Chain A
């Protein structure tokens, strides 16, 4: 190859610069970052097992929405036989009262944006937040 030495050095320098964010995160331990969630201390167990909730809470909420709004059934019986009122604010957010440090923290990390809170209420530092531009259009 003509000028092989220069080309290969160039490629190596290029790779080092392009991949530098990965090196940086790898060396400073940031790749191992997972958000630290504030789990409620008022209860030990979620509606379903923690693993199930991690993987399926969006599906669960979707079926809650269908059951409560379209079928008019307002209670959910969990796999362990316990019953819960179907209510995003009144059930989920009653336990996970700190939505920012729980739902939002993980969603931000995972790049999920849910529009539920344009309509559904949640407590924000004691007062009910009223000012977000409630638009999904």
Chain B
């Protein structure tokens, strides 16, 4: 084979390879679906919207937090240093620090906002986990596999929302009443909200959504154009936490 023939064959093979990928991409084949950013239209993408006004109606209400922490055996360590939390509150000027300014509405400034894991589209925690103990499911839920967690806490450093807690102590003595249906955690693992993955599998709404009497939390499929979630996002002004970081949170807030 001389040089000329070799180049011809090589060129043709290359064209063949890319041609196949192009065909695949345009026809929506498996290759197209494997690309980031190309959504498989049938796959659900779970999301949540928090109505901040409705959430503030009942002062001091912790119904959602209580429900979540009860069913997931989240311990109450009663110390900010060791605290373990899946869903909690923080004041507006902390949650939306970049929105807050010297003259922002006083009532809003001090308002307690409900916060939880944002189940980001681009989760930084997943990128840094050395054991794949945390990963993003196809339905968008950022899951924890406690069996694989080695407690290195890289994910906690990576999460810009402080949504992850480390078990410094054996949590069991600090759980008022253990819910037998959900395992506890142990010393040395990181934990966080799982969007009630175990309840979704049974066609139940997340516990926090169900517990809220003011209906301040709406959960649903972001890919379903006719969902209540999409209707709210479509008709109201919504914000996300730290959108400039590019994590693309799937927990939205309406003012």
Contacts and interface: CB of A to CB of B under 8 A. Distances in A.
B173 A130 contact: yes
A132 interface: yes
A77 to B, nearest CB: 16
Interface string A111-123: 0000100111101
A119 B72 CA distance: 12
B113 to A, nearest CB: 30
A100 B175 CA distance: 23
Interface stretch (A25-33, A42-50, A64-72): A64-72
Contact of A134 (B137, B147, B180, B186): B186
Given A131-B172, A134-B170, A121 B186 contact: no
Contact of B173 (A90, A123, A131): A131
Given A118-B186, A119-B184, A135 B170 contact: yes
B184 A121 contact: yes
Given A72-B137, A72-B201, A134 B172 contact: yes
B160 interface: no
Nearest to A119: B183
Contacts of B173: 130-131
A134 B183 contact: no
A11 B118 CA distance: 74
B183 A120 contact: yes
Contact of B185 (A88, A89, A119): A119
A3 B147 CA distance: 64
A115 B185 CA distance: 11
A123 B181 CA distance: 11
Given A69-B143, A121-B180, 6 more contacts: A70-B143, A74-B201, A130-B172, A132-B170, A135-B186, A135-B187
Contacts of A135: 170, 186-188
A136 B146 CA distance: 12
A119 B186 contact: yes
A79 interface: no
Contacts of B124: none
A132 B172 contact: yes
Contacts of B197: 72
Contacts of B220: none
Given A69-B145, A69-B147, A128-B178, A133 B184 contact: no
A137 B151 contact: yes
A88 B197 CA distance: 17
Interface string A91-114: 000000000000000000000000
- Going nearest first, the 10 A-B pairs with the smallest beta carbon separation are A134-B170, A137-B188, A134-B186, A118-B186, A135-B187, A119-B183, A120-B183, A121-B180, A130-B172, A128-B178
